[in-house]
Amino acid sequence: MPEALLQILDLSVHYGAIEAVNALSLNVAEGEHVTLIGANGAGKTSTLKALTGLLTASAGTIHFDGQPLHSLGAHQRLQRGLAMVPEGRGVFARMSVLENLHTGAYLRRDTTAIADQIERILDWFPHLRRRLEQPAGLLSGGEQQMLALGRALMSRPRLLVLDEPSMGLAPVMVEKIFAVISEVCRSGMTLLLVEQNARLALQVTERGYVMDSGRITLQGASRELLEDPQVRAAYLGE
Ligand SMILES: Nc1ncnc2c1ncn2[C@@H]1O[C@H](COP(=O)(O)OP(=O)(O)OP(=O)(O)O)[C@@H](O)[C@H]1O
Ligand SMILES: [Mg+2]
């Protein structure tokens, strides 16, 4: 089997004496779409923060494209092709929608390709096209989520990492966001998706990990996890 694009091995994250992640191992192959699901406080965001360099892991290793990541800062990890849309989005409220999209491409110099990609993103998100010149802070929560996703795509990441894209959104907006996530997947993007909405997450991915109290408790093909009685009872409300 070829080496996975992302390999996390025995990762632990602590907040002082609190252990949020306990010896977690997870991998994502190039072109694969993988989800990490779990209840509130399971340790999903902590895992992603350690992956993207926002938090220092207390143990474990992370390799990306065969290279160790754990000694690199967040900016260097982005340069390597790791882009994350954080929980709560974090768009630049005073900048316009268009300026926000451009900040996603700040590492790139290929101006024509950047313009083409902005067009493609605006085709995916017609809501944003109508608000290009408006400050991002005036957008609805769902529109900000779209913008944050668009901005991450502007860096043309090798791995796109999403933390709870459905959080706090009305069902119709969740549907729209997930429709775009599916399209992004079909376009060949490699994806690691963290979600509380386990059903949606398992529907757009091929493989999943279930996390509980800092540990991976179950993993497998997404369609099998959708059928798993334990998953159905705990995460699908059945
Ligand atoms: N800054 C922090 N200081 C102390 N404890 C924290 C901090 N951030 C998270 N925790 C704790 O670490 C554990 C894991 O939190 P984390 O945010 O990673 O979970 P999560 O799976 O992302 O949850 P959610 O679905 O609610 O976003 C929780 O018990 C949480 O209370
Ligand atoms: Mg979280």
* pLDDT recorded at residue 138: 93
Atom of ligand 1 nearest to the CA of 39: 25
* pLDDT recorded at residue 3: 79
Q: Mean of the per-residue pLDDT values for the chain?
A: 92
Pairwise CA distance, residues 224 & 57, whole Å: 31
Q: Which of 11, 13, 18 most suits a substitution to test ligand 1, by most atoms within 8 Å of the C-beta?
A: 18
**What share of the chain has pLDDT > 90, as a percent?**
72
* pLDDT recorded at residue 130: 92
Alpha-carbon Rg of the chain, whole angstroms?
Answer: 17
Pairwise CA distance, residues 165 & 26, whole Å: 20
Q: How far is the CA of 21 from the centre of ligand 1 (A)?
A: 9
Ramachandran assignment for 198, one of left (phi > 0), alpha (psi -120 to 50 degrees), beta (any other): alpha
Q: How far is the CA of 38 from the centre of ligand 2 (A)?
A: 9
Pairwise CA distance, residues 99 & 64, whole Å: 29
| Neighbouring residues of 141: CB distance < 8 A, sequence distance ≥ 6 | 89, 168, 169, 173
Q: 192: which strand partners?
A: 34, 161
pLDDT by residue (tens digit) across 39-57?
899 999 999 999 999 999 9
pLDDT by residue (tens digit) across 93-140?
999 999 999 998 877 777 788 888 899 899 988 889 999 999 999 998
Q: Whose CA is nearest to atom 31 of ligand 1?
A: 41
* pLDDT recorded at residue 2: 60
Phi first, then psi: give them for residue 47, nearest 5 degrees. Answer: -60, -45
Contact present, 171 and 177 (Cβ < 8 Å): no
60 pLDDT tier (thresholds 50, 70, 90): very high
Q: Token match 């999209």: residue?
A: 101
Q: Whose CA is nearest to atom 2 of ligand 1?
A: 15
How far from chain centre, in Å, is Cα 195? 9
pLDDT by residue (tens digit) across 130-186?
999 999 999 988 899 999 999 999 988 999 999 999 988 989 989 999 999 999 999
Domains recognised in the chain with CATH numbers: 30-54+72-235 (3.40.50.300)
Q: Is residue 1's pLDDT more than 60?
A: no
